[in-house]
Amino acid sequence: MNIGESIFYGVGVGPGDPELITLKAARIIRNADIVCYIINVNGESVAKNIALDVLADSKKAQVTLPIEISMSIGRTDINKAYDNASIEILSSLREGKNVAFLCEGDPLFFGSFIYLMDRISEQQECKIIPGITSVNAASAQLTTPLTILSEDMAIISSRSTDEKILATLSAYDTVAILKAGPQLPRLTKLLQTASRDDETQYIEYATHKNERIVKDLSLLSDNKGPYFSLLLITRKEREYRCD
Ligand SMILES: C[S@@+](CC[C@H](N)C(=O)[O-])C[C@H]1O[C@@H](n2cnc3c(N)ncnc32)[C@H](O)[C@@H]1O
């Protein structure tokens, strides 16, 4: 049931480099009545920072609606925060305002937009503007193809169990492990166990100004990295040219 014509947009702003925001995303952000984004306890928003130039260009009278979600709180409190945010967003939509929710990368790829869409889509129209994901950005920055010919690929979170990560490393040619930084020492050991440590590249803040790439896993030693990091594991021997 849609009340009025207003739309709740999930807008992907890409992995970090503002030039990787699509033209469509920029247009939707500029024209939105209300721009929403997640902030941490310090009031910082990765998605908003990526879109700063676009926001500076926005129509006047644009309202911003930051939603504070601290990942350190429990799932019950996170759910409560999404409940409250969706009530606020729905009330703006019912006033006939279009709302653009900025999402780092792509909104439907591990994006916080998903939890709001789940609460709003039955009552109000939601539209998605896709963004370049962190996995695509990592592949580009590392100049490493994700998949070739018959290779297959899995994406897994570092929060998965050891058993699941080892099984994935054994079953798939290419594996991207997200949320890698905080779990790096554990992941390094798992990659060694799976004999895939020498097929692994690490990247943090892909396409941001402070991007860091490590191609030799042994150089990471026991250090942890930031949340915005991932490991990309690809076969050493790859069939670039098949007959
Ligand atoms: C909640 S997920 C969001 C994914 C995002 N929606 C996307 O499309 O890539 C957050 C995880 O994505 C990965 N990530 C997001 N942006 C990144 C970047 N610029 N560089 C490296 N990893 C990134 C990290 O693994 C991080 O822990």
Phi, psi of 190 (to 5 degrees): -65, -40
Q: Give the per-residue pLDDT at 1.
A: 55
Q: Which atom of ligand 1 is nearest to the CA of 132?
A: 8
Q: What is the CB < 6 Å shell around ligand 1?
A: 15-16, 103-106, 109-111, 133-134, 137-138, 178-180, 203-208, 227-230
Give the residue-averaged pLDDT of 185-210.
97
Q: Give the per-residue pLDDT at 203.
A: 98
- 119 within 8 A of 88, measured Cβ to Cβ: no
Per-residue confidence band for 4, with pLDDT thresholds at 50, 70 and 90 = low
d(CA 150, CA 208): 32
Give the residue-averaged pLDDT of 109-126.
94
- Tokens standing for 171? 């079953």
CATH number for the domain whose boundaries are 8-132: 3.40.1010.10
* Residue boundaries of the structural domains of the chain: 8-132, 135-233
pTM: predicted TM-score of the whole model, two decimal places: 0.94
Q: How far, in Å, is the centroid of ligand 1 from the Cα of 33?
A: 27
Q: How far, in Å, is the centroid of ligand 1 from the Cα of 3?
A: 34
Give the residue-averaged pLDDT of 59-87.
86
Model confidence at 77: pLDDT above 90: no
CATH number for the domain whose boundaries are 135-233: 3.30.950.10
Q: What is the mean pLDDT of the chain?
A: 93
Which of 188, 195, 207, 223 lies closest to 139 in space, CA to CA?
207
Give the residue-averaged pLDDT of 88-105.
96
Residue 24 half-sphere exposure, CB side, CA atoms within 13 Å? 10
Q: Which of 5-19, 82-96, 191-205, 209-223 has the lowest mean pLDDT?
A: 209-223
Higher pLDDT: 3 or 241? It is 241
Please give the C-alpha separations between residue 3 and each of 77, 99, 243, in angstroms, as whole numbers: 29, 14, 58
Model confidence at 221: pLDDT above 80: no
d(CA 51, CA 158): 28
Model confidence at 214: pLDDT above 70: yes
Q: Which atom of ligand 1 is nearest to the CA of 135?
A: 9
Q: Give the per-residue pLDDT at 3.
A: 60
pLDDT digits (tens, 9 = 90+) for 162-193: 999 999 999 999 999 999 999 999 999 999 99
d(CA 199, CA 216): 9
Quick check: helix, strand or coil at residue 67? strand
- 187 within 8 A of 177, measured Cβ to Cβ: yes
